[in-house]
């Protein structure tokens, strides 16, 4: 075979080789569907930094906040190529919003499930100079002033929103919900005196540590390092940590999914990442690609009951 012919044959073989054989061959974009500075942003930036050594390529975090954490993943599902170079965090909102209003995405069909990684610790904070010294006083104020106790969350249908609505339902009080795009915006409103309380994940820890905010309650199984009582201790049978993982667009090659899963699993177990989870008081929540997809289907069905219980089920929901 002539040299030119041999070169042509090699080129044809290279073109015919599966794309995933060289995956990843360029940087990967990780969509954080929350604003910079919040708990998820802090976590995903550390996760991305660590994952680079297991993928051999940079992982670049891109913030696309809004829609209770669903604008970013929905845009990815609609616009990104299914080549593994764009992935996103998928919050539990994905399994709640379809029961609340029409959405232009399908939580099960429009995503390739890669790996489950962690879950939040939620709590309610007030300004350090607030007259509300504990969670009971907050409830008592709400009872004496129906609809006047304003609280911020990172969006309608998010866990911090539904947790407070469930508290209100169990306590027989009416609260005023003020949705924001994320923790940073909500915390600014709290410290500026625009809302009386903020319900969110542990990003508020920095303000608590700095003496700017007071933590009244958390919603985990046990107390956090800040030692505020849990909702269960206060008589509310509520526990939530809102697990999340990473997904890509539908139709990704199984080998690409496996490559990402294996690198992200090593990242999850990396000592530096475990240290970050401990700092954020977040749980370790590993799910394989198959288990994560199975959990998603079960959760989509189960969340209908949660939405209905707090009175947010759409009238035309099936």
* Domains annotated on the chain, with CATH: 20-119+243-309 (3.40.190.150), 122-218 (3.40.190.10)
> Could you tell me the CA-to-CA distances from 253 to 60, 75, 175, 245, 247 in Å, in that order?
21, 20, 47, 18, 13
Q: What is the pLDDT of residues 129-170, one digit of tens each?
A: 999 999 999 999 999 999 999 999 999 889 999 999 999 999
Rounded CA separation 109/124 (Å): 34
Q: Cα Rg for the chain, rounded, in angstroms?
A: 22
Q: What is the mean pLDDT of residues 169-181?
A: 95
Rounded CA separation 237/173 (Å): 16
Please spell the DSSP secondary structure of 150-201, one letter per residue.
Answer: EEEESSTTSHHHHHHHHHHHHHT---EEEE-SSHHHHHHHHHTTSSSEEEEE
Q: What is the bridge-based pairing of β-strands 86-90 and 28-32?
A: parallel
Task: Indicate if the pLDDT at residue 1 is higher than 60.
Answer: no
Task: Indicate if the pLDDT at residue 18 is higher than 70.
Answer: no
Residue 314 has a pLDDT of: 87
Task: Indicate if the pLDDT at residue 8 is higher than 60.
Answer: no
Residue 310 has a pLDDT of: 83
Task: Indicate if the pLDDT at residue 2 is higher than 90.
Answer: no
Sign, CA dihedral 156-160-164-165, equals positive
Lowest mean pLDDT segment, chosen from 50-54, 118-122, 154-158, 288-292: 154-158
Between 22 and 84, the more confident residue is 84
Q: pLDDT averaged over the chain?
A: 92
**Residue 317's pLDDT band (cuts 50, 70, 90):** low
Rounded CA separation 9/128 (Å): 72
Q: What is the mean pLDDT of residues 14-30?
A: 74
**Residue 16's pLDDT band (cuts 50, 70, 90):** very low
CB 314 within 8 A of CB 122: no
Q: What is the pLDDT of residues 252-290, one digit of tens each?
A: 999 999 999 999 999 999 999 999 999 999 999 999 999
Residue 30 has a pLDDT of: 98
Helix 159-171 vs helix 135-144: angle between axes, to the nearest 10 degrees? 70
Percent of the chain with pLDDT over 90: 83
**Residue 14's pLDDT band (cuts 50, 70, 90):** very low
Residue 17 has a pLDDT of: 44
**Residue 309's pLDDT band (cuts 50, 70, 90):** confident
CB 178 within 8 A of CB 151: yes
Residue 21 has a pLDDT of: 61
Query: In 223-270, which ranges are continuous DSSP H helix?
Result: 254-269
Instruction: Return the bridge partners of 284, or none.
Output: 118
Rounded CA separation 281/266 (Å): 20
């Amino acid at each position: 075979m002539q040299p030119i012919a041999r070169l042509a044959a090699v080129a044809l073989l290279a073109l015919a080789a599966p794309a995933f054989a060289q995956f990843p061959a360029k940087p990967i974009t990780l969509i954080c569907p929350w604003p910079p500075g919040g708990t998820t942003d802090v976590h995903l930036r550390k996760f991305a930094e660590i994952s680079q050594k297991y993928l051999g390529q940079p992982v670049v975090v891109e913030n696309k906040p809004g829609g209770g954490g669903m604008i970013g993943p929905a845009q990815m599902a609609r616009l990104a190529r299914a080549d593994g170079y764009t992935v996103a965090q998928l919050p539990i909102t994905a399994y709640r919003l379809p029961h609340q209003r029409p959405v232009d995405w399908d939580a099960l069909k429009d995503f390739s499930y890669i790996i489950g990684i962690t879950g939040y610790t939620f709590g309610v904070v007030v300004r350090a100079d607030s007259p509300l010294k504990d969670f009971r006083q907050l409830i008592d104020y709400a009872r004496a002033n129906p609809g006047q106790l304003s609280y911020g969350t990172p969006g309608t249908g998010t866990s911090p929103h539904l947790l407070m609505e469930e508290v209100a339902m169990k306590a027989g009080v009416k609260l005023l919900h003020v949705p924001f795009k994320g923790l940073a915006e909500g915390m600014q409103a709290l410290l500026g005196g625009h809302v009386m309380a903020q319900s969110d994940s542990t990003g508020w820890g920095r303000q608590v540590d700095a003496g700017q905010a007071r933590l009244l309650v958390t919603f985990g199984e046990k107390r956090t390092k800040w030692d505020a009582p849990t909702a269960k201790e206060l008589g509310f049978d509520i526990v939530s940590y809102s697990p999340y993982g990473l997904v890509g667009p539908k139709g990704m090659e199984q080998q690409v999914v496996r490559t990402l899963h294996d690198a992200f699993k090593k990242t999850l177990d990396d000592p530096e990442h475990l240290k970050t989870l401990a700092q954020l008081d977040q749980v370790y929540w590993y799910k394989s690609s198959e288990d994560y997809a199975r959990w998603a289907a079960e959760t989509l069905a189960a969340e209908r009951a949660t939405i209905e219980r707090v009175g947010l089920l759409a009238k035309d929901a099936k």
